[in-house]
């Protein structure tokens, strides 16, 4: 079984089905053998099958998330080889030592936490396969990120978005506005179909959001114009299926606009939308619904609040 990341959910599902359709004993033996041999390809295939079929994210997990999990699997297995771990029966102190080794290597806290998340996913997959009862990372202490995420990775600035819109072709314009005005995740943007677009009512249906949850978002005037320039037609609104293709298209757009040093992928566009909406509403709950967050605490990490946000209010205290 190939352990490569595959671009389409159907391919991932068929890979997962090949493992999931095994008998309980055959799956257990395969997982035990992979753990004993510290076979990264087999352990990743097992983890991918588990993530694709037995988690809330399922086959809609983004390529970015899957790359992070795969890298974490590779790092853990390399560490296990170097320190003679028994993956199925790790020592009580070994997970803590692993996290300490990651931290002491100079990795940022967020990267360490991503590695631990991947390790936890691997062990969930091994338990799913019946290979072990071990849950070694359940109680391990993770490093704390002292700098708020919105400070490290802020939203795009309005000047950057405007510069890209001025250089964008119709397809690029629609993609950029789906992120910065509709607040879509990249997987959601690439999954939009014309049947989901309701221009007269100024609404867009996100049929398969994170966790396969649907929501509706309003369409701005600029986004409606961009969509009208493309269609309406049938099938997908955007021509790209792969995350990497869309990423490269926007990267080159930023280069044409002379703003390549400001390009930071897709998430900064989603944060731009959340920040714009919060500035208008001052309501994290409404922004959470707009972005498709279950928890408002998640939304707070997406919104940049000006430091002087309370100045005028406090000025008028009596």
Residue 243 is predicted with a pLDDT of: 82
Tell me what the mean pLDDT of segment 211-222 comes to: 92
Q: In this predicted model, what pLDDT tens digit does every residue of 254-308 receive, in sequence order? A: 999 999 999 998 989 999 999 999 999 999 999 999 999 988 988 888 888 876 6
Q: In this predicted model, what pLDDT tens digit does every residue of 228-242 receive, in sequence order? A: 999 888 899 999 988
Q: In this predicted model, what pLDDT tens digit does every residue of 38-94 receive, in sequence order? A: 999 999 999 999 988 876 555 566 677 888 999 999 999 999 999 999 999 999 999
Tell me what the mean pLDDT of segment 104-128 comes to: 92
Range list of β-strands (E), the chain: 197-198, 203-206, 215-218
Distance CA(243)–CA(215), nearest Å, equals: 21
Distance CA(58)–CA(89), nearest Å, equals: 28
Task: Identify the CA nearest to 156 among candidates 253, 292, 265.
Answer: 265
- Would you place residue 150 in the very low, low, confident or very high pLDDT band (cuts 50, 70, 90)? low
Residue 9 is predicted with a pLDDT of: 47
Contact between 242 and 236 under an 8 Å Cβ cutoff? The reply is: no
65 is written with which tokens? 């998330």
- Would you place residue 5 in the very low, low, confident or very high pLDDT band (cuts 50, 70, 90)? very low
Distance CA(208)–CA(212), nearest Å, equals: 5
- Would you place residue 317 in the very low, low, confident or very high pLDDT band (cuts 50, 70, 90)? confident
Question: What is the DSSP annotation of 247-281?
Answer: HHHHHHHHHHTT-GGG---SHHHHHHHHHHHHHHH
- Would you place residue 145 in the very low, low, confident or very high pLDDT band (cuts 50, 70, 90)? low
């Amino acid at each position: 079984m190939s352990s490569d990341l595959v671009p389409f959910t159907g391919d991932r599902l068929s890979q997962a089905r090949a493992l999931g359709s095994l008998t309980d004993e055959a799956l257990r033996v395969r997982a035990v053998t992979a753990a004993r041999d510290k076979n990264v390809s087999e352990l990743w295939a097992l983890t991918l099958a588990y993530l694709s079929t037995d988690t809330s994210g399922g086959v809609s997990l983004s390529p970015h998330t899957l790359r992070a999990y795969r890298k974490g699997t590779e790092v853990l297995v390399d560490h296990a080889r170097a320190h003679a771990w028994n993956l199925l029966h790790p020592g009580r102190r070994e997970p803590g030592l692993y996290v300490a080794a990651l931290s002491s290597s100079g990795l940022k806290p967020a990267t360490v936490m991503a590695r631990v998340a991947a390790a936890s996913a691997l062990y969930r997959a091994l338990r799913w396969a019946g290979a072990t009862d071990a849950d070694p990372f359940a109680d391990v202490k993770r490093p704390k990120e002292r700098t708020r995420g919105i400070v490290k990775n802020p939203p795009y600035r309005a000047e950057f978005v405007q510069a890209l819109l001025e250089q964008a072709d119709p397809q690029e314009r629609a993609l950029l506005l789906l992120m910065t005005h509709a607040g879509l995740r990249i997987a959601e943007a690439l999954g939009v179909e014309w049947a989901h677009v309701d221009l007269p009512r100024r609404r867009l249906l996100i049929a398969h959001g994170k966790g396969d949850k649907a929501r509706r978002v309003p369409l701005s005037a600029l986004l409606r114009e961009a969509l009208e320039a493309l269609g309406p037609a049938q099938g997908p609104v955007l021509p790209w299926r792969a995350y990497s293709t869309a990423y490269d298209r926007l990267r080159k757009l930023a280069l044409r606009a002379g703003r390549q040093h400001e390009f930071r992928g897709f998430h900064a566009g989603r944060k731009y939308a959340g920040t714009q909406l919060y500035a208008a509403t001052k309501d994290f709950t409404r922004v959470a619904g707009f972005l498709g967050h279950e928890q408002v605490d998640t939304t707070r990490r997406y919104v940049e609040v000006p430091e002087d946000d309370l100045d005028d209010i406090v000025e008028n205290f009596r």
